[in-house]
Amino acid sequence: METAGTDSGYIVDKSAEYVFEITEDKTVAIPTDATNKNDYKLSDGKLVINNYRPDLDKKVKNRETGAYEDDSDYSVGDIIPYEITVGVPGNITKLATFVVTDTPTNLHFVNGTGADALVIKCGDDTVPEKAYTVTPDTAADDVAAGFKIAFVPNQMETYAGKDLVISYKAELLASAKSDLAENVGNPNTAKLEYTNKIGTDGTEESNGKGEIGDSATVYTFMIKIVKKKDSTDGDVMSGVVFDLYKEYNDGEADKLPSGAKAIADADATELGLTVTKVSIGQDLVRRPRMIRALFLLKAFPTVNIN
């Protein structure tokens, strides 16, 4: 979790009253009719005030282990599960703003139903839709798109001080970045905007919003194939078409679909290339060339075939 700017993220509530009384026996007590008894307490004669702040944590499901982590690898076209955990502050009902915005890179939010539906839970209980509104980004299917969830604070008293888990899925687009030279990947960033300054009248001040954010990254891997004449120092040969295969540890091989360029498969140990088409004057050699799948170790080779 990261906090925007230098703000601690805690909510300043200028409308809060911390009432106490001194009894006849000279002890200090909180009146039974105090309206915000959950916000403070007395301990050894001292007044202890609870400071509230929300939290947010973004994770992606690891393709191999199934655990939710900061990053994982997937192939273009995969439907990827994500989780956003939101820590609800104890004074949530006093906030005017509590909005989660999800902004992906090269990913498109799956606004589906059933197993592909966005779900918000608190423990094992599903949060009712009256407590929030989901607004998906409007974009073509092949364009990055996320969503916004506007929570309704006055419907969230039940969840004060608890964690909500937002589960949803997104599709990795063909525009996905596979160059890890700068460790870029395809981040999916979530942001929580919330009231963090409450005025004396109990309303959000004009500059009274805070923001925290977190992200999870998906990597996809690519191999570049270049055929050269005579040797690796020869001229690049145009018009060459390959069939690309994956070979597994058990000796089985699968032909990849035409145009396949992004692969994420921990079980695939080698790639096989077979030339199926050449330009006039070139020799057609159909023997397979096996290539170690170095890209699965986050290295991206250019393979020269001659």
Better-scored residue on pLDDT, 286 or 127: 127
Is 142 a member of any domain?
Answer: yes
DSSP state of 114: G
Q: Please identify, among 166, 200, 220, the residue that sits at the C-terminal boundary of a domain.
A: 220
**173-208 per-position pLDDT tens digit:** 988 876 555 557 899 999 999 999 999 999 999 989
**pLDDT surpasses 90 at 22:** no
Structure token digits, residue 275: 């030339």
Name the β-bridge partners of 272: 245, 290
Structure token digits, residue 297: 């170790």
Tell whether 147 and 198 lie within a shared domain.
yes
Is 182 a member of any domain?
Answer: yes
Structure token digits, residue 285: 């050699």
Q: Please identify, among 200, 220, 240, the residue that sits at the C-terminal boundary of a domain.
A: 220
Looking at residues 61-70, what average pLDDT do you find?
Answer: 94
Is 145 a member of any domain?
Answer: yes
Which pLDDT does position 223 carry in this prediction? 58
Tell whether 38 and 182 lie within a shared domain.
no
Domain span at residue 205?
Answer: 53-220
Is 4 a member of any domain?
Answer: no
Is 2 a member of any domain?
Answer: no
Q: How far apart are CA 60 and CA 199, in angstroms?
A: 38
% residues pLDDT > 70 (the chain): 69
Tell whether 213 and 109 lie within a shared domain.
yes
**153-176 per-position pLDDT tens digit:** 999 999 999 999 999 999 999 888
Question: How many other C-beta atoms can be found within 10 angstroms of the C-beta atom of residue 253?
Answer: 14
Better-scored residue on pLDDT, 5 or 243: 243
Q: How far apart are CA 302 and CA 69, in angstroms?
A: 30
Q: How far apart are CA 69 and CA 60, in angstroms?
A: 5
1-5, 126-130, 133-137, 257-261: the lowest-pLDDT one: 1-5
Q: Please identify, among 202, 220, 238, the residue that sits at the C-terminal boundary of a domain.
A: 220
Tell whether 92 and 180 lie within a shared domain.
yes
Tell whether 64 and 134 lie within a shared domain.
yes
Question: For the chain, what is the domain count?
Answer: 3
Tell whether 87 and 215 lie within a shared domain.
yes
Confidence of residue 142 (pLDDT cuts 50, 70, 90): very high
% residues pLDDT > 90 (the chain): 49
Tokens 């307490």 belong to 41
Is 1 a member of any domain?
Answer: no
Is 7 a member of any domain?
Answer: no
Which pLDDT does position 244 carry in this prediction? 59
The dihedral sign for the CA sequence 177, 182, 186, 189: negative
Tell whether 212 and 68 lie within a shared domain.
yes
